[in-house]
Structure 1
């Protein structure tokens, strides 16, 4: 069950009360890291309760430390030795025995106890926390004080994780969204509005919700929200091994957040493969191997890449991702990201990508790429959204839906730019707006002033320009003006004005004239003569 507004408000107020002088940018790394470690600790504790059979973890560990840790690693992908659990931190605080070295030792031990097959999922995941950092305080005592406040905060009822994966994911999602809101320039680029994520997810999974094996890939994974939302519409998403999650992210903070986010939503580490890499510079690891192209393909690909980013486009003509279409200009990487996604799409898969409207009509290299995609029938739909939906960008965006091997050559255009709820500084899609977009896509239907299915001939007549207003006419004609009625209304108003003037002059004539009021009365009369 989602957090109530009251819970959210209280949670955020508690966070602000505990951070002291730490800036939010630094604070988020610690609060997310400690929250995630609490989750791992409680998951390990629950697992131990099922396997210890009356003994304590301390007893089992004392008998054979290496064997005990290896057994936990085989089952969880990581191991936590006695004394290093979140509950041990809290106990040390309660007994006035806590010091900053306890946390340093804990994470040092944790990094040594990651299973080999789980290295990519856990390695470096706590690197955002530096316990010798001046961000926390000038000395060890000050830093310990900050850590104590965070641990006690996350021990409060509001951060209780015992409600299962739904409770955990609700807390995590709320915090990601809230930090993205207040740190829009820092985190906003990694956060896709839930409504747009839902539209993309429902389109990507349409007709395949029952499949037992499904792979999803986001090459600019951010916090992982697009992957999670897409998986949530698959019937078997909660079954281990059914959904495989893949992603790449070049920035360290969201790379850590994405892995935390997936695992705190109950995704097992061996179903996750997130790489720390620049997608355009480094293709998926099993792309070109020993000079031979061996690309990994995915059932659904989704992306919200940085808009019109600069990139190194030099000598890219032979890269298999762009070889058949052309290379995007160095000042606008939009089509480089799109073609990367398309390249890694299964033949029967579907992809969705969020891009600025410029990709629909800009010429030169982008025009040639767009023409190739249209001539190959690979663009299935273009959906236009309102502006101000995103935290870090006020421009309107569009979502392009593509498939590799379409037979039909038409393209569905949806203009959803007029449907939204206006907030203080932003706009938001309502549930009815989401439903309308998805229903229109699924039924692929014409809707006056909203959606149009354009033939290839129409698109060619428009010189391969996909600008939505060329295909969806949203112009609203004004009602014709009744000149006779307007003239009559003006005559009536003029008569009423003259009547009012006459009544006012009559009132002035009845006023008693004194030396002080004579000039004022004469001046007032002059206005109406």
Structure 2
């Protein structure tokens, strides 16, 4: 068992112990929050030492030196300096190590936890920019809630148990690699499996595949790039992008309507070492509250655009599709609004509106959006027949039972505003999976095969097909993968061939009927004789 697996097992054991009073969706909030608080506190310690803000004597703990040198009248100056560099500041008595010391001495009570998080929020509010990232990040924690125990003493014991386990975790694996982000991803994924919060989490392997697709042609090395997720959930896809690309150069933006998921997204990104200057998340419904416009060089408002857009919106998802939205620049060029109870294409158009001219978008959608009729058919047609050219680049069919919230099949729709061709690449990756205990999952081999097939953009028997715009039109803009790719279980339907066979059948039937009639006539003549 690897160190990461051991840590995950320990945290899951603690979750099961806490389940006597709570469920895993609640315990997740506490465990991840304390992991994050420890991380932020230790990041602050590193800053204090590296900046020579404090003088640590030989054999002295960093927290001890901080307590000695940042007390009294000097405290505000220390906090201001820390805040200006990190975006947050933790006072000496509120640090992780000070909390652990109190627990070891049996001196901690519920008010200590409340004070710690209240002070963190107060310091975070000192800056509007940093406050957007840090303020309220621990608001999911209700320290007086009976989930932690029926009495104050039981709740203190539960919290102390979480703190002590989190304090024992080594954030590096056997090779010295930082695994904090992997711990966060693993925990969120495990909590999501079969739980009510599953709709806010994308399986890690799917998130990794999307990250590879949208970042393959983005600037490399030290050039920064921007990524937007209009329904970021717990930040699964954004954190995968930060993980696969230097978190110091990825500028991540997101919107999430659910407060708990929004707070977890911020924690998740922090644990993937995304700096507060590189993340901007809002607790809003993207379809009702569009991303804030920004002034261009002429001080004229225009929509903020991004190098890449990613999403895995909840499904089914209702939205307010009031006909007034047909005048909204996000939706007005596509003929119809997405159905009230099926917001999938609303998220597609939201993301596409904020994609820059050379950008790429990848969004997870239910398979049904590829062939459903009425408004969705109109939107598909207008995406393909857009005045600037076909905006649908690829359709990737994923295996069934891959996502946490159900067994249905999903697809990844890849879109671009500027393309050199009008064709659409179809990939049938429905067999690209390994079986798990409860869910199927993509292996690294599966991910690589799908990604390389997307990049090569060539036909492969029973796996990939490049459909011309004429074929798309002939199929009345039906984009179902099975319409274009023949497999052993699913034969491609050739309507022209079917028509030909029907005509031939009619001719054969007519010939046979004529022969039967002739034979009957002969028989009648013989009988008369």
Shorter chain as denominator, the TM-score bin is 0.7 to 0.9
- TM-score normalised by length of structure 2: 0.84
| Superposition deviation, residue 83 in structure 1 | 1.0
Q: How big is the shift at 1:141?
A: 2.0
Q: Secondary structure at the match of 1:464?
A: coil
Give yes or no for the alignment of 1:145 onto 2:157: yes
**Alpha-carbon contact 2:28-2:191 (below 8 Å) kept:** yes
Q: Residue 31 and residue 11 in structure 1: after superposition, are their counterparts in 2 closer, same or farther (change >3 A)?
A: closer
Return the match for 1:210 from 220, 230, 233.
220
Q: 3-state DSSP class of the match of 2:426?
A: strand
RMSD: 2.3
Report the CA distance shift for 1:139/1:444 in structure 2 as closer, same or farther (over 3 A). Answer: same
- Flag the 1:288–1:282 CA change in 2: closer, same or farther, 3 A: farther
How far apart, in 1, do the equivalents of 2:70 and 2:442 lie? 54
Q: Aligned to 1:354, what secondary structure does the other structure show?
A: strand
Distance 1:370 1:288, change over 3 A: farther
Would you say 1:262 and 2:269 are equivalent positions?
yes
- Higher Rg: 1
What is the distance in 2 between the residues matched to 1:238 and 1:477?
42
1:280 counterpart residue number:
287
Change in Cα spacing, 1:368 to 1:420, as seen in structure 2 (3 Å) is same
Match of 2:147 among 135, 158, 162: 135
Task: State whether residues 410 and 455 of structure 1, in contact with CA within 8 Å, keep that contact through their aligned partners in structure 2.
Answer: yes
Q: Counterpart in 2 of 1:57?
A: 66
SS of the equivalent of 2:37 reads helix
Contact 1:39–1:264 under 8 Å retained in 2: yes
Q: Classify the secondary structure of the residue corresponding to 1:83.
A: helix
Q: Structure 1 residue 226 and structure 2 residue 237: aligned? A: yes
Q: Distance in 2 between matches of 1:449 and 1:39?
A: 48
Task: Report the number of matched residues.
Answer: 469
Distance in 2, matches of 1:194 and 1:29, equals: 19
1:331 CA drift (Å): 1.8
* 1:420, distance to aligned residue in structure 2 (A): 1.9
Matches within 5 A, 1:151-190: 151-156=163-168, 159-161=169-171, 166-181=178-193, 184-190=194-200
Mapping of residues 115-514 of structure 1, within 5 Å: 115-116=126-127, 117-156=129-168, 159-161=169-171, 166-181=178-193, 184-208=194-218, 210=220, 212-234=223-245, 237-239=246-248, 242-286=249-293, 294-314=302-322, 315-325=324-334, 326-376=336-386, 377-475=390-488
1:11 offset after TM fit, Å? 3.5
1:225 Cα shift? Answer: 1.7
Once the two structures are TM-superposed, the CA of residue 131 in structure 1 deviates from its matched residue by: 1.7
Q: Which residue of 2 aligns with 1:12?
A: 12
Q: 1:66 to 1:225 in 2, by over 3 A?
A: same
SS in 1 for 2:282: strand
Alpha carbons 2:330, 2:350 under 8 Å: kept: yes
Deviation of 1:231 after TM superposition, in Å, equals 3.5
State the TM-score, normalizing by the size of structure 1.
0.84
SS at match of 2:325: coil
Structure 2, gaps ≥5 residues long: 57-64, 492-529
Whole-Å separation in 2 of the counterparts to 1:178 and 1:282: 31
SS in 2 for 1:316: helix
C-alpha distance in structure 2 between counterparts of 1:122 and 1:255, whole Å: 11
